[in-house]
Chains A and B, each alone.
Chain A
């Protein structure tokens, strides 16, 4: 049996507007730009891809299934800028062949800095998924698939989850294959599903690369690789950024055609099927515990946290951000809280990354700033203003007192 498990990540941050030290407004976000980008990605990716998957699900009458994780912040933006995309996601949910996962509402690194915030954001996210799609997620993925034993244990304690996702990185698998179901150590109910990065990246990155030995990759060829898993595993976890379809891989690469034929090709082999992540977790026993004491992610070649926390600026920005937590909570101001949460989105720190600054490549494409230094300056100016709003709202707060009632009204 090879169960193909597609999961697509859907996310856009609230990008910041240019904010100098002379600015003092409370409007930190570039609504115009965010709207523009949202609508553009909706045109090139979300709408055509959603339609394609809807068609495929109907055509294959329940044999084709997929999973999504949509952050709270993208859902908000879709509601505002491209509500027809939301509707198409709802149609997908209604097919019964589409599962929605849970993650932190604001796509944040909160696990590393504030367990309470982490829990709150998961709760908020579960709520919005239920409100929009009528589903209660049972599978969790952390921001950028950041994962370690502690995260798994925390998620199990929060409760309500059957499985958690992680990157099937070589350095945590060793000789083992990502094509089995595993579990985290010291947990009782959670299962661990690991991304098959080779096959996932074949679609997400190599698909249009003419220098690739396997180019052009047709659905038929890919299906053969999937078939080869039979006897060597049970699941083929294809965890892919949704923008692959139409944005990273443009339509003229043939990516949509590839997808269109893929289910048929895969289902030609009688032992293959498609499963949602919950189904995969339920269908197969965990074969082993995978010990991940240090943090891994699905980012770059290092598969670590260096994209967001690799330099002094990133560390300083995130520390200052979370240092405001108690002041923000005591101020009991929903707008303040929302602004603070939007600033937690991991993308802000990604823009400050200097890893490839010498070569200036991939990171640059998605970076609204000319340089990581500009991004840090902008972010810190905003944080400064946020901080000053806290003192205004709760001038006498000692910043350690969590009792809300003392300050409100």
Chain B
């Protein structure tokens, strides 16, 4: 039985600005391949200008614009809103942007979206979330669906309202929690919304056991209600960067938002230790975020400024190039619900070192793992990968094989099962 789902999600190509959007898109695409019809509602500050000419038909139904995407079973419904999924307080260019392979002119779309990311956690944000809920309810009138699937807290009020109005079950998917984003200093109102959503839902999907445990212990959700579905990566067949071969200088890459959650300072402390033992290595921090300036200062204060390169946000081919020159990718996250980036690194032939406090660490074997705060050990492992070719080679080869097994189709199939569960309980 084909369950029709109304998904409350985030970005859709060509605008994918980070992990949450990537995850939603990956899951949706896989569901499309499984033939699950999806109506995908997303917040949009400006009308979408989609570049794949001829591939999309724009329709104007009774209830507003919708777009048929290149995915046969997925329809996009943009709903006006300034909501953006990334942690407020970040600069405009906060997220690491990446365009898909669609050929778009650079100018207009990017500007439009940048302006949309002015959101913050102030009272304005709370109101916007509820305003969005109202608009979503309106947009959903006339849509036919069996289940509602909401991704992360900002869509939870909309999901709750829709579920109440239509009587359809709600499934919420938690890609990150306040505890991941803000450490122990959680924003009470955001926490409340998260908790409300988890309790109102029939099922809660966590992206890892790590996150599931947080949901159970910090949000008081009964364990039997919480399922784990891992994220995946898109093996979209584009030619992976051919490994450029050994350089005289090794490069260690940090690619992600430069914010507390991602542990940039640990990366830099470890870099300093590494440089005590080897000289022919450089460190690249690719990304933007509220800790960017502090990080630049830290590198200088540690005396390694000449060895650390800050690229700011990278987009499109630059991301590929960053991976191509890297000998090692490091994800020193303080708290990472899953961590798709290491999988993408492996897809680009770069071995990875990940923090143990991450979803990926529990799910993945062929990666080096370390406690993010254990600078010595982080440096120890970094040096080892750079120094011993057999280690590099094996982590790369086995890691890549393992990464390609994280298929979105498996996640989508699991989600479909969860839909069935939620519906049978009624």
Q: Knowing that A311-B390, A312-B393 are A-B contacts, what are 11 other residue pairs whose CB atoms are under 8 Å apart, sorted by A's residue number? A: A20-B380, A22-B376, A311-B394, A312-B390, A313-B391, A315-B390, A373-B368, A373-B394, A376-B388, A377-B380, A380-B388
Most chain-A CB neighbours within 10 Å: which of B273, B384, B387? B384
Report how far A46 CA is from B393 CA in the complex, Å.
42
Report how far A22 CA is from B276 CA in the complex, Å.
9
Q: Distance (Å) between the CB of B377 and the closest chain A CB?
A: 7
Closest-by-CB residue of B relative to A373 is B368
Closest-by-CB residue of B relative to A371 is B365
Stretch at the interface among A147-155, A160-168, A250-258, A354-362: A354-362
Closest-by-CB residue of B relative to A380 is B388
**Docked complex: B269-325 residues within 8 A CB-CB of A:** 273, 276-277
Closest-by-CB residue of B relative to A358 is B365
Contact, CB under 8 Å: A22 / B277: yes
Instruction: List A contacts of B380 (CB < 8 A).
Output: 20-22, 377, 381
Instruction: List A contacts of B390 (CB < 8 A).
Output: 311-313, 315-316, 376
Fill in one digit per residue for B372-403: 1 if any A CB lies within 8 Å of its CB, else 0: 00001101110110011111011100100010
Closest-by-CB residue of A relative to B374 is A20
Fill in one digit per residue for A355-394: 1 if any B CB lies within 8 Å of its CB, else 0: 0011010000000001101101100110000000000000
A-B contact pairs, 7 of them (CB 8 A): A22-B380, A357-B366, A370-B369, A373-B366, A377-B380, A381-B380, A381-B384
Q: Distance (Å) between the CB of B381 and the closest chain A CB?
A: 6
Q: Distance (Å) between the CB of B224 and the closest chain A CB?
A: 27
Closest-by-CB residue of A relative to B351 is A373
Report the interface size class on chain B. Answer: 20 to 34
Report how far A360 CA is from B395 CA in the complex, Å.
16
Report how far A380 CA is from B402 CA in the complex, Å.
25
Contact, CB under 8 Å: A21 / B369: no
Instruction: List B contacts of A360 (CB < 8 A).
Output: 365
Closest-by-CB residue of B relative to A370 is B369
Instruction: List A contacts of B381 (CB < 8 A).
Output: 377
Contact, CB under 8 Å: B277 / A316: no
Closest-by-CB residue of A relative to B399 is A373
Instruction: List B contacts of A311 (CB < 8 A).
Output: 390, 394
Instruction: List B contacts of A316 (CB < 8 A).
Output: 388-390
Report how far A357 CA is from B402 CA in the complex, Å.
11
Q: Distance (Å) between the CB of A360 and the closest chain B CB?
A: 7
Partner of B391, one of A21, A22, A358, A376: A376
Contact, CB under 8 Å: A371 / B369: yes
Report how far A381 CA is from B384 CA in the complex, Å.
8
Report how far A381 CA is from B273 CA in the complex, Å.
15
Closest-by-CB residue of A relative to B381 is A377
Instruction: List A contacts of B277 (CB < 8 A).
Output: 21-22
Q: Contacts A22-B273, A360-B365, A373-B368; is A312 near B384 (CB within 8 Å)? A: no
Contact, CB under 8 Å: B388 / A20: no
Contact, CB under 8 Å: B384 / A380: yes
Closest-by-CB residue of B relative to A314 is B390
**Docked complex: A56-77 residues within 8 A CB-CB of B:** none
Most chain-A CB neighbours within 10 Å: which of B277, B369, B380? B380
Q: Distance (Å) between the CB of B92 and the closest chain A CB?
A: 40
**Docked complex: B336-372 residues within 8 A CB-CB of A:** 365-366, 368-369
Fill in one digit per residue for A8-30: 1 if any B CB lies within 8 Å of its CB, else 0: 00000000000011100000000
Report how far A354 CA is from B390 CA in the complex, Å.
13
Q: Distance (Å) between the CB of B330 and the closest chain A CB?
A: 15
Instruction: List B contacts of A354 (CB < 8 A).
Output: 394, 398
Report how far A374 CA is from B384 CA in the complex, Å.
10
Q: Contacts A354-B394, A373-B391, A380-B384; is A21 near B379 (CB within 8 Å)? A: yes
Q: Distance (Å) between the CB of A373 and the closest chain B CB?
A: 6
Report how far A358 CA is from B399 CA in the complex, Å.
11
Q: Contacts A21-B277, A357-B366, A358-B365; is A313 near B394 (CB within 8 Å)? A: yes
Contact, CB under 8 Å: A373 / B395: yes
Contact, CB under 8 Å: A357 / B365: yes
Contact, CB under 8 Å: A377 / B384: yes
Instruction: List A contacts of B391 (CB < 8 A).
Output: 313, 373, 376-377, 380
Contact, CB under 8 Å: B394 / A312: yes
Closest-by-CB residue of B relative to A311 is B394
Fill in one digit per residue for A159-187: 1 if any B CB lies within 8 Å of its CB, else 0: 00000000000000000000000000000
Q: Distance (Å) between the CB of B276 and the closest chain A CB?
A: 8
